[in-house]
Structure 1
Amino acid sequence: MEVNVLERLPNPIILKKLMKVQASLNIILCRDEWLRYHSFVQDWDEGVCMAKIDNGAGDHLIILFSPEGSIIKGFDHESELSPYAQDEHQVLQGIYDDVPKELVSLLEDDAIEKDDVTFCIWRKSSDVNWHKGKVEIPLGVSDGSDFLIGCIFHTPEDFVEFAEGYFELSPSLEVVAKIYNDFPITEEIINILNPGCDVKEVLQELELLRLRS
Structure 2
Amino acid sequence: MSVLSNFAAVLPAPGVLRERLRVLVALEAAFGSRWARYAFDGVDESGFERFRFENGGGDDYHVFLSPSSVFLRAFDHESRMSPYTDYALCPGLLDGLPEDFVPFTRLPQDEETFPALTLALWHDGIAWRHGDPRPQDGGKPELTDWMLRPLVYFTPAALADHFGSYYSRPVDIETLEAVMGGAAFDRALVERLASKTVWEPVEELLSRLDAPAS
TM-score by length of 2: 0.86
| Cα distance in 2, alignment partners of residues 53 and 120 from structure 1 | 15
Give structure 2 stretches of 5+ with no counterpart. Answer: none
Q: Which of 77, 89, 95 is the equivalent residue of 1:97?
A: 95
Q: Per-residue deviation at 1:112?
A: 6.6
Q: Tell me, yes or no, if structure 1 residue 80 matches structure 2 residue 76.
A: no
Q: Tell me, yes or no, if structure 1 residue 17 matches structure 2 residue 16.
A: no
User: Which residue of structure 1 aligns with residue 4 of structure 2?
Assistant: 2
Over 3 Å counting, the alpha-carbon distance change for 1:180 and 1:211 in structure 2 is closer
| Cα distance in 2, alignment partners of residues 75 and 160 from structure 1 | 25
Q: Report if the CA contact (8 A) 2:95-2:130 is conserved.
A: no
Over 3 Å counting, the alpha-carbon distance change for 1:105 and 1:9 in structure 2 is same
Over 3 Å counting, the alpha-carbon distance change for 1:180 and 1:37 in structure 2 is same
Q: Which of 131, 134, 145 is the equivalent residue of 2:132?
A: 134
User: Which residue of structure 1 aligns with residue 207 of structure 2?
Assistant: 207
Task: Supply the RMSD in Å over aligned alpha carbons.
Answer: 2.2
Q: Deviations over 1:31-59 (max 9, x none)?
A: 31x2x222223324441111112222111
Q: Per-residue deviation at 1:64?
A: 0.4
Q: Deviations over 1:165-189 (max 9, x none)?
A: 1111212111111111111111110
SS at match of 1:110: coil
Q: Per-residue deviation at 1:144?
A: 1.0
Q: Report if the CA contact (8 A) 2:83-2:89 is conserved.
A: yes
| Cα distance in 1, alignment partners of residues 17 and 110 from structure 2 | 19
Q: Report if the CA contact (8 A) 1:156-1:176 is conserved.
A: yes
Alignment of 1:150-161 (within 5 A): 150-152=149-151, 153-161=153-161
Alignment of 1:120-131 (within 5 A): 120-125=120-125, 127=126, 129-131=127-129
Over 3 Å counting, the alpha-carbon distance change for 1:6 and 1:204 in structure 2 is same
Give structure 1 stretches of 5+ with no counterpart. Answer: none
Q: Which of 24, 29, 32 is the equivalent residue of 2:31?
A: 29
SS at match of 2:26: helix
Over 3 Å counting, the alpha-carbon distance change for 1:140 and 1:167 in structure 2 is farther
**Amino acid of the structure 2 residue aligned with 1:97:** D
Q: Report if the CA contact (8 A) 1:42-1:211 is conserved.
A: no
Identical amino acids, percent of aligned pairs: 20
